Structure 1
Amino acid sequence: MKDTLEYLFAGNTLTRNQAMATLTEVGKGQHSEAEFAAFLTVFKMRPLHSEELAGFRDAMVNLSTKADLSAYNAIDVVGTGGDGKNTFNISTLACFVVAGAGVNVTKHGNYAATSTSGSSNVLEFLGYEFSNDTSKLKSDLEKGSFCFMHAPLFHPAMKHIAPVRRALKVPTFFNILGPMINPATPKYQVLGVNNSENFNHYKNVYSTLDVNFAIVHSMDGYDEISLTADTHICTNNEEKKLPPSAFGMQQITPEKLFGGESVEDAAKIFIEVLSGHGTPEQKNVVIANAAVALQVVFNDKSLTECVEIAKESLNSRTALQKLEAVTNRSF
């Protein structure tokens, strides 16, 4: 680590392999907390490079507890968080709409870092049982076309990393790594990022991976399709900006996406949306995110067709039935 730090302090950047090797050593507990803190600080003092982020992603994937769910041809819909918008759980709701449309979802997530309720918070509140047992995850997929991987159960390397992150109390590159390190390495992914810099990082990294992807960023700073502004989107095949009208929807105001003051508030909104009692704005933003996910899977269908498929999943309450199947509860 001393050699690596001196190399970085001299103004050099890491190759993908160097970044992977260094973080792998950290994840195995081979360096002190002080050394790791110095290492993290480098990337607060200068911009992170996409090659470095790719290497850090490779290390965390290699160090993770794997869940082989490849037979399910699944998708994940996930955002980096950190946008400070305190929205309701849009991406997680979109996952159930996608599941209701007949597409398997292997979602990776965690407790909230900056908002009231992360995916783990709301799913735990609603009765979903966290597990890293692949047979349990497969059972959930069979019952409800959905399973959830609570990140702390799949990333043992974090025991060496988390104490330093907590002690530093500032955002680091780990804040944007989460969506990239799904332990099931799904075939399809929709990834939301909260700024254009991270959008470009994700675009550069995912162009090197064997994944069918869509990277989305709301131009006013949301890490998902918010319908409050145009959406910047990049897929394997194209990059473009989509106005709300591309989804056949009106632009909405930010307060319509507020997620409440507590996990209980977030869970109430979650069930209201899936039960058909959410506001038009809440339902539309979930449908828009689900539609982009469906188009990643069904790339022969138009966005308009995918919006209609998502609407049917939500309005028929099939999406709600998927939640009920994996929580063994009626809502």
Structure 2
Amino acid sequence: MFKESLGKVTQRENLSDAEVVEFIEDMRDGVISETQIAGFLVALLAKGPSADEVAAIVRAMRANCVLIDPQVDGKLTDMCGTGGGLRTFNVSSANAILAAAAGVPVAKHGSRSISASSGSADALEALGINVELTPEQGEKLIEGIGISFLYAPNFHPLMLKVYFPELALGIKTIFFTLIGPLINPAGAPHHVMGVYQPQMVDLVADAVAQLEMKHVIVAHGVDGLDEISILGPTQVAEVKDGRIEKYEIAPEDFGFERASFKDVQGGDPAFNAAAIIDVFEGRDQGPRRDFLVLNNGFALYVGGVASSPEEGMKLAQETLDSGRAAEKLTEFAAASHRISPVD
């Protein structure tokens, strides 16, 4: 059956849900080799996945991962980028901590760097956070302090089946760019997701509309950012209860001046951690803070503590100015080590 599915993809035909499930299960069970997996990944990338295929892969991957079910008051939320865009100072990691400080329960799902010099796990680790918690510890941390980092390799053993063929190919396929951000093991139904290519906005939004997700912002900064951009316009698809609304925004719509890339450019994990701390502790009142507040406004809107992105941005500024973001970072770091290695 694998050969038939590979043949279909090679001929630029879309796979059925059953064919997608069979591929994932064959990969899980070792029925197909790394060479065959690599061939499938390249063929799917060359064809371009359909929204139906993305949704089917997400469902199949979630059926084969370690799931958790944190009990929270509020709307469990994740925020991340696909990677592959311009490299900023890990604004999504700062966004997660700021959102938790403002009252949104956060299940921040991610891994170490693939495309950037510093991925979310790298930045959070440099901030003093233990990122390699067990699933049980991650669940308890969300319930206890309102945030945890869910380190993808501890939840998704199947991703290793994709990782080595992808590494050998030397290219990025959809599993780490599109699929990874959509398979949050806590099932966070609220999400702000940045994508690095404009065509991904519609693709991801159409896939999300088929999944059990309640309120999702899919954003692409037209300058190449996989975030809501402080540099220029951002294409947005807002998915709410299966309905999709598309629009374009710009920093000046919310009272911010456009920045240059060098103003928000990232570096290694230590550099990015220092940049985040400077914003949290009030020393940096410039474009990095604006960039974070802009993104956090949408996170607080999706997370249900603000009725609009504008209201969310106001709350984000208040949370920073009050010192609650810095306090949440300190609490997060301490609790992540206190709960380890066994609780």
Specify if TM > 0.5. yes
Partner-residue secondary structure (3-state), 1:240:
strand
Query: Which residue does the alignment assign to 2:119?
Result: 118
Q: Using the TM superposition, give the Cα deviation of residue 46 of structure 1 relative to its aligned residue in structure 2, in angstroms.
A: 2.2
Amino acid paired to 1:88: F
Partner-residue secondary structure (3-state), 2:113:
coil
Please say if 1:310 is aligned against 2:313. Answer: no
Query: Which residue does the alignment assign to 1:249?
Result: 256
1:217 to 220, 229, 237: 220
The runs of 5 or more residues in structure 1 that have no matched partner are: none
Separation (CA, whole Å) in 2 of partners of 1:11 and 1:165: 21
Separation (CA, whole Å) in 2 of partners of 1:6 and 1:195: 27
Q: Using the TM superposition, give the Cα deviation of residue 295 of structure 1 relative to its aligned residue in structure 2, in angstroms.
A: 1.1
Amino acid paired to 1:53: V
Q: Using the TM superposition, give the Cα deviation of residue 142 of structure 1 relative to its aligned residue in structure 2, in angstroms.
A: 4.3
Q: Mean Cα displacement is larger for which, 131-140 or 73-82?
A: 131-140
Go from structure 1 to structure 2 and tell me whether the alpha carbon gap of 1:8 and 1:210 turns closer, same or farther (over 3 Å shift): closer
Deviations along 1:144-165, one digit per CA (max 9) or x if unpaired, are: 3211101111111123222111
Query: Which residue does the alignment assign to 2:79?
Result: 77
Separation (CA, whole Å) in 2 of partners of 1:156 and 1:303: 36
Go from structure 1 to structure 2 and tell me whether the alpha carbon gap of 1:300 and 1:132 turns closer, same or farther (over 3 Å shift): closer
Q: Mean Cα displacement is larger for which, 20-29 or 283-292?
A: 20-29
Go from structure 1 to structure 2 and tell me whether the alpha carbon gap of 1:11 and 1:96 turns closer, same or farther (over 3 Å shift): closer
Q: Using the TM superposition, give the Cα deviation of residue 133 of structure 1 relative to its aligned residue in structure 2, in angstroms.
A: 3.3
**TM-score with structure 1 length normalisation?**
0.93
Matches within 5 A, 1:76-95: 76-83=78-85, 85-95=86-96
Go from structure 1 to structure 2 and tell me whether the alpha carbon gap of 1:300 and 1:88 turns closer, same or farther (over 3 Å shift): closer
**TM-score with structure 2 length normalisation?**
0.90
Partner-residue secondary structure (3-state), 2:173:
coil
Amino acid paired to 2:271: D
Amino acid paired to 2:233: D
Query: Which residue does the alignment assign to 2:328?
Result: 322
Query: Which residue does the alignment assign to 2:338?
Result: none
Please say if 1:26 is aligned against 2:32. Answer: no
Please say if 1:281 is aligned against 2:284. Answer: no
Partner-residue secondary structure (3-state), 1:314:
helix
Give the root-mean-square deviation of aligned CA atoms. Answer: 1.8
Q: Using the TM superposition, give the Cα deviation of residue 141 of structure 1 relative to its aligned residue in structure 2, in angstroms.
A: 2.5
Please say if 1:62 is aligned against 2:74. Answer: no
The runs of 5 or more residues in structure 2 that have no matched partner are: 336-343
Kept after mapping to 2: 8 A contact 1:27/1:158: no
Q: Using the TM superposition, give the Cα deviation of residue 231 of structure 1 relative to its aligned residue in structure 2, in angstroms.
A: 1.5
Q: What is the number of equivalent residue pairs in this alignment? A: 327
Query: Which residue does the alignment assign to 1:234?
Result: 237
Q: Using the TM superposition, give the Cα deviation of residue 302 of structure 1 relative to its aligned residue in structure 2, in angstroms.
A: 2.8
Q: Using the TM superposition, give the Cα deviation of residue 86 of structure 1 relative to its aligned residue in structure 2, in angstroms.
A: 1.5
Q: Mean Cα displacement is larger for which, 71-80 or 178-187?
A: 71-80
Please say if 1:99 is aligned against 2:100. Answer: yes
Amino acid paired to 1:36: I
Kept after mapping to 2: 8 A contact 1:143/1:325: no
Kept after mapping to 1: 8 A contact 2:104/2:305: no
Q: Using the TM superposition, give the Cα deviation of residue 245 of structure 1 relative to its aligned residue in structure 2, in angstroms.
A: 1.9
Go from structure 1 to structure 2 and tell me whether the alpha carbon gap of 1:299 and 1:276 turns closer, same or farther (over 3 Å shift): closer
Amino acid paired to 2:263: K
Kept after mapping to 2: 8 A contact 1:18/1:55: no
Go from structure 1 to structure 2 and tell me whether the alpha carbon gap of 1:13 and 1:283 turns closer, same or farther (over 3 Å shift): same
Go from structure 1 to structure 2 and tell me whether the alpha carbon gap of 1:132 and 1:18 turns closer, same or farther (over 3 Å shift): farther
Separation (CA, whole Å) in 2 of partners of 1:207 and 1:168: 31
Partner-residue secondary structure (3-state), 1:328:
helix
Kept after mapping to 1: 8 A contact 2:95/2:295: yes
